[in-house]
Amino acid sequence: MPSQPQVGWEHVDMVPWRTAMQQALYGPSGFYLRERPGAHFRTSVHASRLFASAVAELVRRVDEALGHPGRFDLVDVGAGGGELLTAVAGLEDLSGRLAPCAVEVAARPDGVPAEIGWRPEMPEAVTGLVIANEWLDNIPLDVVELSPDGPRLVLVDPATGTERLGPAPSAADLTWIRRWWPLRKPGDRAEVGLPRCAAWADVVSSLHAGLAVAIDYGHLLADRPMAGTLTGYLDGRMVRPVPDGSCDITAHAALDACLDPDGVLTDQRSALRALGLTGARPSIELARIDPRGYLAALCAAGEEAELIDPGGLGGFGWLLRPVGINHFHDTMAW
């Protein structure tokens, strides 16, 4: 039997990846409007409460640099289930000056403490700390492939994940690709991080004074993954990235492209060590005088070691951008 011709199907149903991701993750029945991230993958926030204690230490340092303002905003962008803010608010009271706020498209979950604000968009004129853990990798982006005829936008069928090459990318995308993800041979692919850099710039522009931090897995200009990094996650497993709303769709972040001259890009290992998480094991002497304390310290050392493991969470990038506290980087020695 001859195969059925799919007349018009490719032209009607195939869309650029950015459109497909937007709909799959944040459309009316999108993945993130239905699901909690913690049910599908494990971030540093879920790995250990010590991540929240490091963020609390960062709050103290930024508060100090700001001269202890009357109100200290702690904004978590892409807050998921609000786990980080809940943990930090429990650790750090800043004498009633701490104003925690989640920026999250998903609805406020039951059980988030009342003092934590919850909103879908960035507040304005933030004074304090903005933190975005594993947010940039979920910002929809386009994929461009170098064909024998030049760069082409990759189109995808949202129902099946089938791809084909479409039109030439926009001039803005091409400029970004040339600068940040040069394509060398046919088949090479770039994930065009322009919308992520714009989203990050929006976050920084909402900061009146303090520090903005984006934390994510990523890659640098010298070492871009030419086959791309689009991945799906579902129930703790990696799955094929089909943008039908059934799974998380993520792509590693080109954090260096979002760095401006006032920012710093370091890795989580260096950042957490600067905040006091070293992974050092307690002395064996402690086991003799305080066996329980020794076990607790040993357990904490194991959790710290996971958070700073250079081959795992410790290899994540930390993009740090101070506003109005320009010597902050010197005091931290990231």
Ligand X SMILES: C[S@@+](CC[C@H](N)C(=O)[O-])C[C@H]1O[C@@H](n2cnc3c(N)ncnc32)[C@H](O)[C@@H]1O
Binding site for ligand X (CB under 6 A): 32, 37, 43, 45, 78-80, 103-106, 120, 133-135, 138
Three-class secondary structure assignment of 271-318: HHHHCCCCCCCCCHHHHHHCHHHHHHHHHHHHHHHHHHCCCCHHHCEE
CB of residue 156 vs ligand X: minimum separation in angstroms? 19
Closest CB to ligand X among residues 51, 72: 51
Closest CB to ligand X among residues 176, 200: 200
Residues composing the chain: 334
CB of residue 292 vs ligand X: minimum separation in angstroms? 30
Secondary structure (3-state) at 257: helix
Torsion angle of alpha carbons 192, 194, 196, 197, nearest 10°?
140
Q: How far apart, in whole angstroms, are the C-alpha atoms of residue 277 and residue 268?
A: 10
Kindly give, in sequence order, each residue whose CB lies less than 8 Å from that of residue 38, ignoring residues fewer than 6 positions away.
Answer: 46, 80, 81, 83
CB of residue 115 vs ligand X: minimum separation in angstroms? 19
CB of residue 226 vs ligand X: minimum separation in angstroms? 25
CB of residue 285 vs ligand X: minimum separation in angstroms? 37
Closest CB to ligand X among residues 78, 128: 78
Closest CB to ligand X among residues 63, 134: 134
Closest CB to ligand X among residues 92, 104: 104
CB of residue 179 vs ligand X: minimum separation in angstroms? 24
In sequence order, which ranges of the chain are alpha helices (DSSP H)?
9-13, 17-26, 31-34, 44-47, 49-65, 83-91, 171-180, 194-205, 268-274, 284-289, 291-308, 328-332
Closest CB to ligand X among residues 78, 322: 78
